Structure formats: C-alpha cells, structure tokens
Amino acid sequence: MPVTTPSQLPQMSVTGITWRTAPAQIRSSLAAVLPDGEPLLRDLVGAGACRQVALVSTCNRLEVIAYTDDPDDFRAEIVRRFRTVGAGLGTHHVGHRAGREAVHYLFRVASGLESMMLGDQQIVGQLGVAREGAATAGTLGRELDELLRSAITTGRDARRETDISRGAAGFASVTAGRIARWGELQQHRTMIVVLGAGELAGDIGRLVAKR
C-alpha cells in the first residue's frame, strides 16, 4: 500500500497582491476584471493548479488562498494569470507564503494586522465573502472551509479581547470623514463628487451624503 509522505500532502498557500506589494493602479486593474473571481477559482481547480481555493478581493488586496501540491508552481501560475490582465504587473508585485507561514499570515490578515489601517473592521466580513464565493464556485473543500472559519473566528476574538480596533474604521469611513471635515472648513456651500464606479466609491459617496 503506497504511503503518503508530508511532502506529498497539499500545502496551504496565500498568493497575490496587496497595498504593501503593488501600487493602486495595478490593484485597480486586476479588481476591475476579477470582481468576484468565481471563474478564476473554477479554472484553477479544473486545470489542476490546486485542490481547494478562495479569493479575497478588496480595494487593498487581491489574494488567492489555496491548498496545492506545489506552492512554487502555484505562485508561478498566479503570476502568469495576473500578468495577462494586470497592466504593468511584475513578479515582484506578487507576494507568496506557504505552509505554516501562510497560515500565520492569514490569521494576521483576519486580525487586522496586515491592513492599511491597523485593526480594519471590514476584513473579517471580506473573508466571509471569500468563503461564500468559494462555496458558490464549488472550490471550498473541508480543509479550506475550516481554515477560513478559524481565521474569521480569530479576527472577531482579536477585536473583542484587545484594543486593536479602538478608533479603527473601514477605508471608506475614514475617507468620508476626511472629506466631510474638509467641507466643513469651506466658507460656502460645497458640492463633492466621488469619481469611480466601484463598491468603494459607492460606500464613500453614501457615507459623505449622511454627514
């Protein structure tokens, strides 16, 4: 009977771009063509690049969380696919972590430690959206489901048991607050226009309108 060694078991990996690795122009170009990523998830599994996979897509990160037989080959595949649609994207823009390092990183993301604004409160919900997207695409296996559930739980615990989110808010809320304060400094009635058709622009516009 064949024996499966640790090196033959699928490894968890996180591969993609974030606000730390790629400029906003590149992140936006990718987000525009991968709004939900379900076709990408199905294609990655169907092509044998990985066994289970989910996509975290926000204004500041586009990362693929996967269980794959060869993390290095998977990174090369993600770079290739991203470069076909991301103008100006280079290999150096794509971060990659595998094994225990990837698990540790994912839990840091969930806790708001890897966000542009420390303690960002939206990332937990965004991980939930990633999990639901993978479930809809049929690429959410038992191991990935348990991992994402654990990360989400850890993120909630971090905010409940520590002060990491004290004063923190989502990017849209912070931006709307700054716009509103600027408007209050003007001596005349001010019209504010938010340019953009994405979800972030819509959130900012709605928050500014409420102030």
For residue 17, give both structure tokens: 């771009």
Residue (of 108, 91, 107, 96) closest to 11 by Cα position: 96
Question: Which residue among the candidates 56, 59, 103, 117 is catalytic per the annotation?
Answer: 59
Classify the phi-psi angles of 154: left when phi > 0, otherwise alpha if psi is within -120 to 50, otherwise beta. Answer: alpha
d(CA 182, CA 163): 28
Residue (of 138, 67, 50) closest to 102 by Cα position: 67
Amino acid at 157: D
Residue (of 84, 29, 80, 77) closest to 57 by Cα position: 29
d(CA 165, CA 173): 14
50 catalytic per annotation: no
* Neighbouring residues of 171: CB distance < 8 A, sequence distance ≥ 6: 59, 60, 116, 117, 120, 122, 200
Residues 54, 16 contacting (CB under 8 angstroms): no
d(CA 81, CA 168): 34
Known catalytic residues? 59
